[in-house]
A = this chain, B = another copy of it.
Amino acid sequence: MVYRRTKKVDQRLESRLQAIMQAAREEFARNGFYGTSIKDIARRAGVAVGTIYLYLRNKEALFAALVNEAYEMVLERIAQARKKAVGGREKLKASMEAALEVLQEHRDLARVMLVQSPAGHPAVSEQLYDLLRRLARLVEEDVREEMERGALPPQDARLASLAFVGTFYQVVMGWLKDGYPTDLTAAGKDLIAYNLRGLGYPPEGEEEDG
């Protein structure tokens, strides 16, 4: 027995998987689920078709892995950001800032998830919307909390949270498809302000901190 799971071998394996994932990210990002063939991905990854199946069960699983990667990344980053924030208002801000940050850092992944996943594959297409749904629920909680505190006027919290999330979604799409805004995180500031006003916070934020 000579061939063994050495560190070097493990690294090669890991880097192979990464090459495949990266190739898939690029291809799916550009051409969508149905517009991308396994052969395309293999070619780009510099790997034989069969090799892909050593790492991923099938095409759908590969796509799902990518979408899930983005999903987890966004949620985790938001969770971290929220831990540090205190109060509904700060949590709202922190959440959205964090989300924009991750997406900005992983543009291809963002494309796969936001642009390509919707009709990607029945089994996967729900995931994007599920993410948005979860984000909306976070927002909703914060909004309710603030309503109870009297910091926000009574309103349909669920509807407001949809609106809130929608502004971010649309701006990210603009960034992905039209290149506007150029800097996603910079735009985030304005966006947050827009939504805080929309929710009914008094302008200038004077009441909260005062």
Contacts and interface: CB of A to CB of B under 8 A. Distances in A.
Interface of A: 31-35, 115-120, 122, 125, 129, 132-133, 136, 155-156, 158-160, 162-171, 173-174, 177-178, 180-181, 187, 190-191, 194-195, 197-200, 203
Given A34-B119, A119-B115, A190 B133 contact: no
A176 to B, nearest CB: 10
Nearest to A200: B197
A197 B190 CA distance: 14
Task: Label chain A's interface by main secondary structure.
Answer: helix
Point out which of A155, A167, A168 has the most chain B C-beta atoms below 10 A from its C-beta.
A167
B194 A163 contact: yes
B171 A169 contact: no
A170 B132 contact: yes
Contacts of A120: 119
Contact of A155 (B33, B168, B190): B190
A61 to B, nearest CB: 17
Nearest to A116: B119
Given A163-B194, A167-B167, 17 more contacts: A33-B119, A34-B34, A118-B119, A129-B177, A133-B178, A156-B187, A156-B190, A159-B180, A159-B187, A160-B190, A160-B194, A162-B170, A163-B167, A164-B167, A166-B167, A167-B198, A197-B200
Contacts of A164: 167
Contact of A194 (B31, B35, B191, B198): B198
B159 A181 contact: yes
Given A34-B34, A115-B118, A198-B198, A129 B162 contact: no
Contacts of A158: 180-181
A191 B159 CA distance: 8
Contacts of A155: 190
Contacts of A160: 190, 194
